[in-house]
Structure 1
Amino acid sequence: MEKVCPICNKLKTVKYCCDKCGGELIDRGIVHDYMDPYSVTLPIQDYEDYCLHIFSCNNCCNEKKEYIYKIIV
């Protein structure tokens, strides 16, 4: 058995609302991939118990980081 991120592996979806305007926050992926265009070619900094995702609002461009806890599969 292993721990995996339910969001990255499409096992679960989450919905967050923007703190500023109330719009829906869209998952932009893990923070590591979002930092710069070359980060996807670097080794992933993986944490044992969680995956850090970044969500952003299409209305006001507000960004929010959320810890998504891994599940055992």
Structure 2
Amino acid sequence: MAFGCPVCNGLREVESLCPACGDKMADTGRLEDTFDDYSPYREIDDVRMTNGYVDLEQNVCMHLFVCTRCGRETVHGVEEEELGGP
């Protein structure tokens, strides 16, 4: 069974409020893409095995959110959904 992130695939959006100031946070994308210059080009599951989260086992895509007002960063998991296909 294949799973995919509905946010990364443009199926829905996620909103988050800053725990420090309450302003809206911006989703900057997958956490793994921020590790270094070549992270976006590595195999997704390869990076997910070493990122410090149990996201691969639990079918969760970790996203980095940044507050548009105070700059605080937080990480939120987005539950992946089963992908349709033949």
Give the TM-score of the pair, scaled to structure 2.
0.75
Count of residues in Structure 1 that have an aligned counterpart in Structure 2 = 73
> Which amino acid in 1 is paired with 2:31?
V
Choose from 74, 77, 80 the match for 1:70.
80
Any runs of at least 4 consecutive aligned residues in structure 1 with deviations exceeding 3 A, and if so which? Answer: none
Choose between structure 1 and 2: higher strand proportion.
1
Deviations 1:47-68 (A, max 9, x none): 2511111100111010110011
Percent of aligned pairs with the same amino acid: 33
Distance 1:31 1:22 in 2: 22
Which residue of 1 is the match for residue 68 of structure 2?
Answer: 58
In structure 1, runs of 5+ residues without a counterpart are none
Segments of 5+ residues of structure 2 without an aligned counterpart are: 49-55
Partner of 1:42: 42
CA distance in 1, matches of 2:4, 2:43: 17
Length-normalised TM-score, structure 1: 0.86
Partner of 2:53: none
**2:17 aligned partner:** 17
